């Protein structure tokens, strides 16, 4: 799939490239991205001022994306192929207070984000 990859900090290091299309694991979705929204956190990650020690490289940035479900992992029951969905920063948080480790599961860093074709 095509994705914008952050190979190092700085906008000049954000390049369009090819990366393997992920296969959704249990409880996960694969979404064909139709739109993204950039926010300050995304810019701060690219610039290297937002928790730089936690940013894996290369990274597909951007936490806010919307699109269509194209594959579901085992055990997924809330979504089906063709559903229109949007992401939110905390990938595992459904309700109540976020778990203390939730920042380890944020889209756009440290998890791959939405600046990709699928």
> Residue 40 falls within a domain, yes or no?
yes
Euclidean distance between CA atoms 81 and 29, whole angstroms: 9
CATH of the domain at 24: 3.90.180.10
> Residue 61 falls within a domain, yes or no?
yes
pLDDT of residue 88: 87
- Residues pairing with 87 in the sheet: none
Residue 45 sits at φ, ψ, to 5 deg, of: -65, -50
- How many domains would you assign to the chain? 1
Euclidean distance between CA atoms 112 and 17, whole angstroms: 14
> Residue 83 falls within a domain, yes or no?
yes
Can you tell me which residue has the tokens 């595992």?
92
Model confidence pLDDT, tens digit, residues 16-29: 999 999 999 999 99
For residue 77, give its domain range: 2-105
Model confidence pLDDT, tens digit, residues 51-88: 999 999 999 999 999 999 999 999 999 999 999 999 98
Contact 45, 71 (CB under 8 A): no
pLDDT of residue 67: 97
Euclidean distance between CA atoms 84 and 66, whole angstroms: 7
């Amino acid at each position: 799939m095509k994705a914008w990859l952050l190979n190092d900090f700085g906008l000049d290091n954000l390049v369009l490239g090819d990366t393997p299309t992920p296969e959704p694991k249990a409880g996960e979705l694969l979404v064909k991205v139709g739109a993204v929204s950039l926010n300050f956190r995304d810019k701060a990650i690219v610039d290297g001022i937002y928790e730089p020690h936690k940013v894996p490289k290369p990274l597909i940035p951007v936490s806010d994306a919307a699109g269509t479900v194209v594959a579901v992992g085992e055990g997924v029951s809330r979504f089906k192929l063709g559903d229109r969905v949007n992401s939110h920063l905390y990938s595992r948080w459904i309700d109540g207070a976020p778990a203390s480790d939730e920042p380890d599961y944020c889209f756009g860093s440290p998890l791959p984000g939405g600046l990709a074709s699928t």
